[in-house]
Amino acid sequence: MSEPHTDQERAADHGERTRRSPWRWYLDVPLIWKLGVALVAGVVVGLIVGPPITVIEPLGEIFLRLLMMLVMPLILLTLISGVASVSPKTLGRVGGKIFGFYIITTAFAISLGIGLALLISPGAGLSLTGDEEAESEEAPGIAEVFTDIIPDNIFAALSEGQILSVMFFAIIAGIALAYMQDSDDDRLTELASLIRRITDGGLEIVFLLIRGVLQYSPIGVFALIAVAVGETGADALLPLATLTGVMYGGILLQIAVYTVILLLFRAHIGRFFKAAKEPMLTAFVTRSSGGTLPVTTRAAQQLGIRKGVYSFTLPFGATVNMDGTAIYVGAATVFVANVTGTDLTVMQIVTIALVGVLASVGTAGVPGAGLIMLTMTVTSAGLPMAPVALVAGIDAILDMGRTMCNVTGDLVGTRVVAQTEEGMLVDGTTFDEPDDLP
Ligand code: ASP
């Protein structure tokens, strides 16, 4: 192109360069602002339009499916490559620590839910109208939870989204790969380095795709929120406002506890939540810890955590660690007792806590899983099922908060364990986002 000569040409050329395409402009706005606007707009539109807003449901569905599409390849590739990069001893130690962390925080969370609900008594004075009935579910047996982890068909496990089974396969494949890398046989080491390059390359593809999906996320967030609010509506929320308040209050307290834990481990709180806000918001709208995994993984990378830790702790947390759900189960079971005018005995309270923790380990991080856990605890505590139908009516709104809390708990545990493992945390003060990551 020839150089501009006249003033007019120069001005036109300048305008061309400074005028950005709408797409470029969109990309330049920080993601969190776009998500914030989408969230608020979603609530407003949902409230104004009401149930007909479900026409935009496919826009949210696209977001969910894009995320879910990446979950299985992400777990498989990060774990194979993560496990191959640490010794089995380190892996065992990380596994033990994170399991301990998850169980302790979940036990605390369910006690918090029960305690707050006993204090505030949601549902007292509300009596059941109509003949709502809810289906009860059986809590899975401990033996079943463990044997089911071993997949009898890895392709079925992948296609059915069984996170723990896929993790099991990826871990043993990663250990075999590590063994090949250290072998004296040149053929094996060569093959191992080829597989490492393929898994690492595959992972880079997945990370790039996650980055792309996040650019779509504001549209998905808007649609998901608008539909959830439009379908539930303020009217449905009102009679259950105290239960909603207790649950969200419990979640805030649980996040305050996480903050204290992070401080104890000398984490930079601002930096932690700066990275955590995207997975928190994604969890809030998608209502799936499993589906949020790609975004949680990205946050762990931004926090400087190494693959050797997060590749294991995050997918594991997405399935077994559900602190928000535990708060919900605790509070909602007390609510059920109140609605039916039952005074809970100490034995019943202990049963609720135990079954709640166990059920949270055996239930997947998908939308609505907490409701199944609720039916399990209500049945085990010997309470009637009918009031569960009331709670089910606003489950979407409750699921948002609890999933957000679940994902935060996973990230906190991951950060804490990384801190205690040598070389698993890139020092925080100057670390922002590494250039080689999307
Ligand atoms: N939706 C939650 C999660 O994915 C589980 C639940 O329903 O409580 O973590």
pLDDT at residue 80 is higher than 60? yes
**Gap from CA of 398 to ligand 1 centroid (Å):** 10
pLDDT at 429: 40
Q: How confident is the model at residue 118 (pLDDT cuts 50, 70, 90)?
A: very high
* d(CA 395, ligand 1 centre) in Å: 10
**What pLDDT score does 299 carry?**
96
Stretch (H or E) spanning 163? helix 163-181
In this predicted structure, the answer to whether residue 141 has a pLDDT above a threshold of 80 is: no
Residue 157 has pLDDT above 50, yes or no: yes
322 Cα to the center of ligand 1, angstroms:
7
pLDDT over 50 (residue 433): no
CB-defined site of ligand 1, < 6 Å: 287-289, 322, 325, 365-370, 399, 402-403, 406
The ligand 1 atom at the shortest distance from the C-alpha of residue 322 is 9
Least confident of 118-127, 165-174, 387-396: 118-127
pLDDT at residue 131 is higher than 60 = no
Rounded mean pLDDT of 401-420? 96
How distant, in Å, are the alpha carbons of 76, 160, 166, 320 from that of 153?
A: 15, 11, 10, 22
Distant-in-sequence contacts of 395-399, Cβ < 8 A, 24+ apart? 395/368, 395/370, 395/371, 396/228, 396/231, 396/232, 396/287, 396/367, 397/228, 397/229, 397/232, 397/237, 397/244, 398/243, 398/244, 398/247, 398/328, 398/332, 398/370, 399/287, 399/367, 399/368, 399/370, 399/371
Mean pLDDT, rounded, for 40-44: 92
Closest atom of ligand 1 to 407 CA is 9
CA–centroid distance, residue 29 to ligand 1 (Å): 30
248/88: higher pLDDT: 248
Q: How confident is the model at residue 313 (pLDDT cuts 50, 70, 90)?
A: very high
- pLDDT of the residue at 431: 38
Q: Provide the whole-model pTM.
A: 0.83
- The highest-confidence range among 22-36, 339-353, 409-423, by mean pLDDT, is 409-423
Pocket of ligand 1, candidates 366, 373, 388: which has the most ligand atoms within 8 Å of its Cβ, to mutate?
366
Task: Indicate whether 406 pLDDT > 50.
Answer: yes
Q: What is the mean pLDDT of residues 328-347?
A: 91
Distance 413 CA to ligand 1 centre (A): 17
Look at 6-15, 217-226, 387-396 and tell me which has the smallest mean pLDDT.
6-15
Mean pLDDT of 358-365: 77
Atom of ligand 1 nearest to the CA of 367: 1
Q: How confident is the model at residue 430 (pLDDT cuts 50, 70, 90)?
A: very low
DSSP, res 305: B
In angstroms, the CA 5 to CA 13 distance is 10
Q: How far is the CA of 405 from the centre of ligand 1 (A)?
A: 9
**Per-residue pLDDT at 268 exceeds 80:** yes
**Ligand 1: which atom is nearest the Cα of residue 363?**
5
CA of 105 to the centre of ligand 1 (A): 16
Please give the pLDDT value at position 272. 96
Report which ligand 1 atom has the smallest distance to the Cα of 368.
7
- Does residue 434 surpass a pLDDT of 50? no
Q: How far, in Å, is the centroid of ligand 1 from the Cα of 4?
A: 60
In the chain, what are the domains? Answer: 30-436 (1.10.3860.10)
Mean pLDDT for all residues in the chain: 86
pLDDT score of 161 more than 90: no
Distance 6 CA to ligand 1 centre (A): 64
Half-sphere exposure of 322 (CA within 13 A, CB side): 36
Distance 25 CA to ligand 1 centre (A): 35
Ligand 1 pocket mutation pick from 374, 399, 400 by most atoms within 8 angstroms of CB = 399
Answer whether 412's CB lies under 8 Å from 267's CB.
no
> Which range, of 103-112, 130-139, 199-208, 362-371, averages the lowest pLDDT?
130-139
Which of the pair, 169 or 239, is modelled with greater confidence?
Answer: 169
Q: Which atom of ligand 1 is nearest to the CA of 288?
A: 4
What's the pLDDT score for residue 143? 74
Tokens of 210: 């996650």
Residue 109 has pLDDT above 70, yes or no: yes
**Percent over 90 (pLDDT), the chain:** 51
Q: What is the pLDDT of residue 423?
A: 85
pLDDT digits (tens, 9 = 90+) for 6-30: 666 666 656 555 567 888 888 888 8
Q: Which atom of ligand 1 is nearest to the CA of 324?
A: 8
Q: Which atom of ligand 1 lies at the shortest distance from residue 365's CA?
A: 4
Confidence at residue 148, expressed as pLDDT on a 0 to 100 scale: 83
187-202: average pLDDT: 93
Ligand 1: which residue has its CA nearest to atom 1? 367
